[in-house]
A = this chain, B = another copy of it.
Amino acid sequence: MVEKKRLNIRLSLEELRIILGDRVVWKGSTEQSLKGVASLDQALSGDIAFLANPKYASQVEDCEASLILVPEDFDGEPADDQAFALMKHPSLGLAWICGAIERQLSPPPEPGIDGLASVSPDASVSDTACVGPFCVIEAGAEIGPGVHLKSHVTVGRGVKIGADSVIFPHVSVYAYCEIGARCRVHAGSVIGSDGFGYATVEGVHHKEPQIGIVQLEDDVEIGANTTIDRARFDVTRIGQGAKIDNLVQIAHNVQIGPGSVLVSQVGISGSTELGTYVVVGGQAGLAGHLKVGDGAMIGAQAGVNRDIEAGAKVRGTPHLEMTQFARIAVLQKRLPEFFKRLTALEQASE
């Protein structure tokens, strides 16, 4: 159904050997230069394919890819003009290859500040950072080595951005927020907008100025058009290695633990704290001032209004433990039958 779009990619087997390094055992070989990546059932000659999930192992035999990444214990043999790369984590090997392809398609620019950027003389920008056109960097900001601010990024007063972070176009980082090393923030996201707080007196909503900050720890990725509000007084924190998708709302004073994953359109209300490696499904919403334990999983569209224990799996609005939710969902569908049976009993007992 999807006609394949071909970008102009060329990787020789020799280059791939270098990318994958000595973590790999090779079987077979190919004369093809590699031109793309595809799933096992769609790959053609010239493609790289991969077996990440054992349930698709049977697809390897008929796969026409010129190179297939397979687990280290995979016991099939490559066809003619086909190579297998055996490795502990084929999905990781694939990530390295795609990274190399990405660098080929979009080579990183030369360090330096574009002539059309607006940089305060009181800001500090590393010599190895790259600042694109129409960026604004205000006084006191510190831009670390290897940072890449694509175009139209606004970096407020006193902001710190750690080494090798990449900030995409139209991102706004409000004053004094801190972004760690190796973070990625996608286009249009807003880091440090005001928390939503008003003191309502005699019918007037008086603004409560929000004087805290947002801190992204190292290795955080933020999707596109996501919003993270600054804390009322101290810190809204996104823990090390957490990954947040597009259009997510993080309210003031929220704490997201390291390694947590928030899927698109999730909303977390003020002061709620997520532990480590919490997973929140798309469009779920969490009320304020809750605690979610380490490793909890919150299903898509859930409405969470109470604390959640470590390791719990929940779903629904208000949320229920996942198996309870499933059982009740089944019974709800049987409500019409249920009413009939009840009525029949009533008639029989008259």
Chain A positions within 8 Å of B, measured between CB atoms, are 1-5, 7, 9, 36-39, 52, 89, 91-92, 94-95, 98-99, 101-102, 105-106, 114, 116, 118, 132-134, 136, 150-152, 154, 156-158, 168-170, 172, 174-176, 178, 184, 186-188, 190, 193-194, 196, 198-199, 201, 203-213, 215, 221, 223-225, 227, 229, 233-235, 237, 241, 243, 245-247, 249, 251, 255, 259, 261, 263-265, 267, 269, 273, 277, 282-283, 285, 287, 300-301, 303, 316-318, 320, 324, 327-329, 331-336, 338-339, 341-342, 345-346, 348-349
Contact = CB atoms under 8 A, between A and B. Distances in A.
A301 B328 contact: no
Contacts of A273: 1
A342 to B, nearest CB: 6
Given A95-B207, A199-B89, A246-B196, A5 B234 contact: yes
Contact of A282 (B37, B95, B243, B267): B267
Contacts of A327: 336
A331 to B, nearest CB: 4
Given A150-B154, A300-B285, A265 B267 contact: yes
Contacts of A136: 132-134, 151-152, 169
Closest 6 CB pairs of A and B: A172-B187, A91-B199, A98-B209, A193-B224, A190-B224, A227-B246
Given A201-B92, A346-B341, A170 B196 contact: no
A14 to B, nearest CB: 20
A341 B6 CA distance: 62
10 contacts: A2-B234, A2-B235, A7-B158, A98-B210, A134-B152, A184-B207, A229-B246, A264-B267, A269-B282, A283-B283
B233 A227 contact: no
A186 B335 CA distance: 45
Contacts of A234: 2, 4-5, 38
How many copies of this kind of chain does the complex include? 3
Contacts of A208: 91, 94-95, 98
A221 B206 CA distance: 11
Nearest to A98: B209
Given A198-B261, A264-B267, A287-B300, 4 more contacts: A7-B211, A94-B208, A249-B264, A317-B317
B246 A201 contact: no
Contacts of A133: 118, 136
A335 to B, nearest CB: 4
A174 to B, nearest CB: 7
Given A38-B234, A249-B264, A188 B190 contact: yes
A217 B143 CA distance: 39
B172 A168 contact: yes
Contacts of A300: 285, 287, 303
A94 B210 CA distance: 11
A215 B269 CA distance: 28
